[in-house]
Every structure is written in structure tokens, then in C-alpha cells.
Amino acid sequence: MTVGRQAMRGPAIFLAQFMGDTAPFDTLGNAARWMAEAGYKGVQVPTRDARCMDLALAAESQSYCDELIGRCRDAGVEITELSTHLQGQLVAVHPAYDQAFDIFAPVELRGKPAERQAWAVEQLKLAAKASRRLGLSAHATFSGAFAWPFVYPWPQRPAGLVEEAFAELGKRWRPILDAFEEEGVDLCFELHPGEDLHDGLTFERFLDKVDGHKRANILYDPSHFMLQAMDYLQFIDIYHERIRMFHVKDAELNPTGRAGVYGGYADWIDRPGRFRSLGDGQVDFTGIFSRLTQYGYSGWAVLEWECCLKHPEDGAREGAAFIEAHMIRQPERAFDDFAGGGDPADNRRWLGLT
């Protein structure tokens, strides 16, 4: 048994779903203070929200980054990672989604897909620099998508379509991955329906196109696998070496005679598959925390709150205690050390070789 490894850290929380124009979620400092009082030790910070940070300034100014670190520490938490989910989405956009995703871009770039995509790439590169200045080792993002409109093959996909989509996706992300390598930061894709990277097979396709790039890693969120009816525990067994971030998010899937995984275009509250606050869904977090601990995951356990039933502040308060209860304190020695043994001479005698 391996003991003494660095342990998982937490609880932490992603701020994106909480920020707004009224206190206590109107500034990074106020939100951090509220989260600390709720029991959190860390906050994951969205870079597209000016109420939280100025990404361009963070990329160029160490003093500004030190100020951000100090602001959070004074509130009682630390910054766990930065997020460019919205900007990452714009690295690769199928024309069918141009109008829908324009809202993620600055106003002056809307309706200009090429300029929007160039801006998104630059945003990711700024995030790599900012992450390094903040002393962070991992970064969260989305992959974007070219092939998602063709995920269910009717009419049948023409031969080579998916291969071409992933070749272009790899081409666009390769220089971004290289930028993260220069800064010593892992780029973690949240595998998520709507993205070309949404399960293990699509991640493998992408990894092949970027030559197994060491900075291409995974943000593990079991809720997205639950809603795809995937084995999210076996996923950890297969991909644990690439899992560098963890969103603790619950979900449930209750298919009926009327609807299943696709949801029938129903609102979230009426779908068979929907996100829930921690402990209210079906995800086996005991199994997940055990598996991640078994494989030596030493990153943060970060709550991402998305629930169609419960108030976010209630979900956040309950979530901190939920994560804390699932954290596994690792032993400093093996449970069977009391039995002794291990001397080379004794080992030979045990084997009858003396």
C-alpha cells in the first residue's frame, strides 16, 4: 500500500453561477468572504466576469495577481484555478451555433466569427500566463465543437467527417496547449455534451490529433457522464492519469416511457436527466472520492452548483459540508505495518532460500 501521498484538497466552489450585480456576489472579495463563511477553502474563478478579475491585467502584472491572491486570502480562501469555459467554447464553433454563442464574445466581435475565434485563442493564452502568475497548476475550459450537430447519425455522416472535425480541432488547440506548456500549467477540458470533447472516446480522438500532448488533460465532472448513462467510476480507472481537476456536481437520470437521455426539449425541471444539488441526485460520490484517492488525485474538489430546484445559497452551504464529509484522510502508514517484516534476510528465509 502506498502511503504519504499528497491528498485531495477542498472543499472549493466555482463562482461562475453565483456572481451578480448585488451583494454578496458583486465582487470577488465579497463572494470569497461569503464562501469562506459557508465552509469553503478555495474558489475557482471565471475569467470572463469583470466582477472577479481583469484577465489581461493578470497576464501581465504580478503585482495585480498578488493583489488577487491577497484579496482572497484575507477573505479566508485561496484561488484554486481559473476558468475560460466561455472563451474555450469560441475556439471552435459550428456555423449552426454562431448566433447562440456570440453572446460569449465582446459586443464589437459579434457577427464576426474569424475575429471572435482569434480573440478566444488570445484569451486562453492570457489565461495560461495569469495562471502561472497566480501559482496555479491547472486551468478549466471547454473544447468547442465542430461535429456536435452530427452526434446522432441521421442522415448518416459522410465518411471522414468526424476525422476532419477533430483534425481541425487539434490544429486550433495545439498552439494553445503549447502556450500552457510554456507556463507549466495543465489545460483541463470539461467533458460536456455540446462540446466535441464530451466522453472518453472523443477525448482519445482529440489526444491523438495533438500527439498526446502532456498538457491536454481532463476536468472530471460525473454529472455529465450520469446524464449520458456512462460508467463514471470506470472512467476514473481508465483516465485517472489525465484527470487534473474535479467538479463535484450531482445529477439524476430517471428515464420514462415518454423521454430519456435527449430530454424531449423539456425545460430542465421536467427533464428525465437534470442537475441537482449535492446529495439530492444519484451520483455515487463515495465511490468517486474513493477512486480518486486510490489513484492519488491531489487537486481540488470544487463544487459546481447547477440545480433547477434548490436556491443556490442553500446548495452552496450544504455542498461545503457534503464535500468535507466525503474527503478521505489518507493514512501515514499501511494498516498492516504492525505485523513487521521487510528485512531482506528475513524475506529469503520466508521463501526457504537460506
Cα torsion through 330, 331, 332, 335, rounded to 10: -160
**How far apart are alpha carbons 351 and 74 in whole angstroms?**
59
- What CA–CA distance (Å, rounded) separates 5 from 269? 41
At residue 195, the pLDDT reads 98
Q: Would you say residue 1 lies in a domain?
A: no
Tally of domains in the chain: 1
Give the dihedral of Cα atoms 20, 44, 206, 228; nearest 10 deg: -70
Domain that holds residue 183: 9-350
pLDDT for position 135:
98
User: What pLDDT score was predicted for residue 6?
Assistant: 78
In a domain, 26, yes or no: yes
Answer yes or no: is 152 within a domain. yes
List, for the chain, all residue ranges whose pLDDT scores fall below the cut of 70.
1-5, 334-341
Decide if 170 is inside a domain: yes
The CATH number linked to 282 is: 3.20.20.150
Q: Among candidates 248, 231, 233, which has minimal Cα distance to 307?
A: 248
Give the pLDDT confidence score for residue 335 in this predicted structure: 63
Give the C-alpha separation, 102 to 109, whole Å: 8
Cell 442553500 -> residue:
314
What is the pLDDT at residue 344?
A: 85
β-bridge partners, 274: 252
Q: Is the peptide bond before 175 cis (omega within 30 degrees of 0)?
A: no
Give the closest residue to 281 by CA, choosing from 305, 317, 264: 305
Contact between 201 and 208 (Cβ < 8 Å): no
Instruction: Tell me the whole-structure pTM to 2 decimals.
Output: 0.95
Contact 11, 41 (CB under 8 A): yes
Q: Is residue 4 a part of any domain in this protein?
A: no
Q: How far is 254 from 256, CA to CA, in rounded Å?
A: 6
pLDDT at 343: 83
pLDDT score for 1:
40
Over residues 96-123, the pLDDT tens digits come to 999 999 999 999 999 999 999 999 999 9
Please give the Cα distance from 343 to 270 (Å, whole number). Answer: 63
Residue 3 in domain: no
User: Which of 8, 55, 10 lies closest to 28, judged by CA?
Assistant: 55
Q: Is residue 345 part of a domain?
A: yes
